[in-house]
Amino acid sequence: MSSETEVPHMREVGYVSKKTGVRWMPVIGLEVHCQLGTRTKLFCGCEYRFGASPNSITCPKCTGQPGALPVQNREALALAVRTALALGCTVATKSKFDRKHYFYCDLPKGFQISQYDQPYCTGGGIQLSTGKFVRLTRIHMEEDAGKAIHDRGDMTLVDLNRAGVPLIESVTEADIDTAAEAVEYLTSLKEILQYCGASECDMEKGSLRCDVNISVRPAGEPWRTKVEIKNLNSFRFVSAAIEHEIVRQVDAYEMGEEIVQETRLWDANRNVTRTMRSKESAHDYRYFAEPDLPPIHISSAFLEYERKLLPELPSSRRARYESALGLSPKDARNLTAERVVADFFEAAVRLSDKPKECSNWIQNELFKMVGDPELGTERFEELQLKPFDLVSVIELVDKGSIAMSSGRTLLRAMAETGKSAKVLVAELGLAQVQDTALIERWCREALVGKDKIVADVKAGKPNAINALLGGVIKLSGGKANPQVVRETLERIIAQP
């Protein structure tokens, strides 16, 4: 099946083969690795950052020097536990680390410190918008490996900067049926982890990696051989790979071929999955409890402390914005996509009690400012604006002290300079003119030579006055209060 052919839309009812008319049901599970957003690595004090020069963030511990020992990062445990609570998992009072052995050039100790049979939490899951609940089997903590680079020269190069970074690996049950569900699951997972401050979940920086386990079977039949797909660097690729693989497996079965249990890589250039290695010779990881680390005991005090730090999660906030604040689902979704935005919005609402206006101003103005090269801000939290600042502007506009357009200017100036509304209104002369005498003079000036328009207004043509209005505003340099101008014009025109 060529890649140019349109892939049939996968509905929840599975994939109906064009060739045979058989309904095939995909069975999908996801393994997601997330880098925890700690400052330092899991077992040493190296301060990790993405993109650092090679081997500049390492030490005897994370390079596996003989005699070096691991000591666990408290914040990594805290974030892992917070994540588990956010996902509704059962956190184990006692768990442990295990050594997982294999030989590779990016694994300095020849084993990875991970968790095998006593992960720190089990259960939990994520509710999708369709009502489907995707269950989690377990989540465990482990350290990341370094990076092997194969495409520079005729040797493989090894950079151990990433070795030792804390990861959590979450494994779902095979509850997912479609590519769309997989993407929604991942989107929700990312949102939740970001909200908890546990992980950036940025696939481009490698802080979120996803492997897919997928099989298909005719509706009603038992599960068949599953295939693992790796090298999925974006949600888009996850979706494309799933859709491609479903078709590939169905086609193979319908042609009488076998599906082999194996690991396949997603080839983003050709939009296909291809064989990486066979999983038949399964790894013997020779797991045993890590003797250099004592067992992990998570007290109920620790749990309660982390539970208190849990923010209200996106889905709950969206429901609240819609029902209690009267926002549309679209607005609710936009405002909760990032926690900093949601927190900002809620603070602004608390100060102003004007949810719709806050929502509009944030979406229409603040979002535009993010990513504006002149402001140099790439993220929402980099804007030099507090909720109080936004509310000040809203109040000024609502009171008529400044025009709506001036409000936009003011907001931008506040973001650029960090100065307060009051100071900038004075500096930029944005105060709207309310002086009735002044406005009357401008009105009379604007009316000169506009007899035709005046006649239209008197004749009752509804929008005729707008042209006059515009003229007065222009004369005032945008400063006249439109409402007062309108009333003044109407009064003057009505005079005999």
Partner 1 sequence: MSAYSALDAVGLAQETARGKRSASENIEAAFDAVKALDSELNVFLNTNLESARALARVLDAAPAETRGPLHGVPIALKANMCVEGFESNCASRILAGYHAPYTATFVRRLVDAGAIPIGMTNMDEFAMGSSCENSAFGPSKNPWDETRTAGGSSSGSAVAVAAGITPIALGSDTGGSVRQPAALTGIVGFKPTYGRVSRYGLIAFGSSLDQVSPFARSVRDVELVTHLMSGTDSNDATCLDEPRMNCEICDLKGLRIGVPKEYFGGGLQHDVRARSEEALALFEQLGAVIVPVSLPHSEHAIAVYYVVATAEASSNLARFEGVRFGRRVDGDGSLQGMFAATREAGFGPEVKRRILLGTYVLSAGYYDAWYGRALKVRTLLRRDFEAAFESCDVIVGPTSPEPAFALGSKKDDPVAMYLSDVLTVPVNLAGLPAASVPCGFVDVLGRALPVGLQIIGPHRADARVLSVARAFEEATSFAAARAPRFFHGARS
Partner 2 sequence: MSAAHDPKPIRQAGALVASIAKLARLAVTAEEARSIEPQFASILKQFEGLELLDLTGVEPLVSLSGADTVLRADEPEPSSSADQMLANAPERVEDFYCVPKTVGGDE
Which of 150, 308, 330, 452 binds partner 2 (CB under 8 A)? It is 150
Q: Does 102 bind partner 2 (CB under 8 A)?
A: yes
- Neighbouring residues of 36: CB distance < 8 A, sequence distance ≥ 6: 42, 75, 76, 79, 80, 166, 167, 168, 198, 199
Q: Does residue 300 touch partner 2 according to CB under 8 A?
A: no
Residue selected from 10, 28, 30, 77 as contacting partner 2 according to rule CB under 8 A: 77
Q: Which of 19, 59, 20 is nearest to 40 (CA)?
A: 59
Task: Answer with the entry of partner 2, partner 1, none that 69 interacts with (C-beta below 5 to 8 A by kind).
Answer: partner 1
Size of the site for partner 1 (CB under 8 A): 31
Q: How far is Cα 149 from Cα 81, in angstroms, rounded to an integer?
A: 33
Query: What x/- string results for residues 25 through 64 when contact with partner 2 is judged by CB under 8 A?
Result: -------------xxx---xxxx-----xxxxxxxx--x-
CA pair distance 389, 376, nearest whole angstrom: 19
- 76 binding partner (options partner 1, partner 2, none; Cβ < 5 to 8 Å by kind): partner 2
By CB under 8 A, name the one of 277, 399, 419, 491 that touches partner 2.
277
Judged by CB under 8 A, the stretch of 96-104, 170-178, 196-204, 360-368 that binds partner 2 is 96-104
Out of 7, 33, 101, 354, the only residue in the binding site for partner 1 (CB under 8 A) is: 101
Binding of partner 2 by 68 (CB under 8 A): no
Question: CA nearest 473: which of 481, 465, 463, 462?
Answer: 481
- 223 belongs to the binding site for partner 1 (CB under 8 A): no
- Report residue 199: phi and psi, to 5°: -155, 150
- Comparing CB distances to partner 2, the nearer of 288 and 388 is 288
Q: Is 110 in the site for partner 1 (CB under 8 A)?
A: yes
Q: Indicate whether 157 belongs to the interface with partner 1 (CB under 8 A).
A: no
295 is a contact residue toward partner 1 (CB under 8 A): no
What is the smallest separation between the CB atom of 135 and partner 2, expressed in angstroms? 29
Residue pair 97/76 in contact (Cβ under 8 Å)? The answer is no
Is there binding between residue 160 and partner 2 (CB under 8 A)? yes
Q: What is the DSSP letter of 40?
A: B
Q: Tell me the DSSP string of 339-395.
A: HHHHHHHHHHHHHH--HHHHHHHIIIIIHHHTT-TTTT--SGGGSS--HHHHHHHHH
Q: Which of partner 1, partner 2, none binds 67 (CB below 5-8 Å, type-dependent)? A: partner 1
Q: What are 164's two structure tokens?
A: 């030792």
Q: Are 90 and 124 in contact (CB under 8 A)?
A: yes
Would you count residue 288 as binding partner 1 (CB under 8 A)? yes
- The C-alpha angle with vertex 209 and arms to 207 and 213, in degrees rounded to 5, equals 165
Q: Are 100 and 116 in contact (CB under 8 A)?
A: yes
44: which DSSP letter? S
Asked if residues 128 and 185 have their Cβ atoms less than 8 Å apart, the reply is yes
| 69 in contact with partner 1 (CB under 8 A) | yes
Name the token pair of 322. Answer: 């819609």
- Is 71 near partner 1 (CB under 8 A)? yes
Pair 27, 198: CB distance under 8 Å: no
Q: Are 244 and 182 in contact (CB under 8 A)?
A: no
Output the smallest distance, CB 98 to partner 2, in A. 11
The yes or no reply on residue 284 touching partner 1 (CB under 8 A) is yes
Candidates 15, 48, 111, 344; binder of partner 1 (CB under 8 A) is 111
| Chain positions contacting partner 2, by CB under 8 A | 38-40, 44-47, 53-60, 63, 71-77, 96, 102-105, 107, 148-150, 153-160, 263, 276-277, 283-284, 286, 289, 291, 293-298
